[in-house]
Amino acid sequence: MVFVVAEHYESGKSVDYHAARIKEISDLLSWKKDSFNRVEALIDSAANQQTLASSASVSRLFSELGIAVNPKVNKNLFAGIARVKQYLKGENGVPKIRIFRNCVNLIRELKTYRWGEGDTPVKREDHCLDELRYFIMTLPEPTKPLPEKKSDQLLFKEKLMKKRGRA
């Protein structure tokens, strides 16, 4: 089960600002930290590129500010969308993901997500959805339950029924 309990969604702010906000949220939620007392987070692989404002990458700046970001996310769009759909659909109609109502941007993006031409999604206002997809792709692939092993008695009974034309 995945619980989406908080989000941080602001543009036009510095890495320092975002790091402070992420730390604030993680402290409120009592998120566990790594052995270096850093918050662990996923980040788009584009964050490894050098910024215009600094000689360091966004990933490095976050790391220096106590946020251990992992930019090695699986960005396979179609596999990720399929996995998110799998979690939303769940098993027997029970979703395997719960999104808290204070995650207004993720909820808005889910409601406005659209497919464009050529069976590709429209890439607009989907930052929260991308992060959800990155996170879901870090989880182990769901396994299908193994079929129940039939007892010797049941197998024998099925064999007899087939012989008599009842199966």
Q: What is the pLDDT of residues 65-86, one digit of tens each?
A: 999 999 999 999 999 999 999 9
Residue type, 136: I
Across 133-154, average pLDDT:
79
What's the one-letter identity of residue 74? N
CB-based contact 26:5 (threshold 8 Å): no
pLDDT score of 112: 93
Whether the pLDDT of residue 31 is over 80: the answer is yes
- Whether residue 131 contacts residue 75, with contact meaning beta carbons closer than 8 Å, is answered with no
Give the pLDDT band (50/70/90) at residue 129: very high
Average pLDDT over residues 96-124: 92
User: Rounded distance, CA 96 to CA 3, Å?
Assistant: 9
**Phi/psi of residue 3, each to 5°?**
-115, 120
Instruction: Give the integer Cα–Cα distance in Å for 20 and 124.
Output: 27
Position 148 pLDDT exceeds 90: no
Average pLDDT value for the chain: 88
The pLDDT assigned to 139 comes to 92
Instruction: Report the pLDDT averaged over residues 3-12.
Output: 94
pLDDT higher than 60, residue 157: yes
pTM higher than the cut 0.85: no
Question: What pLDDT, on the 0 to 100 scale, is given for residue 143?
Answer: 66
Give the pLDDT band (50/70/90) at residue 142.
low
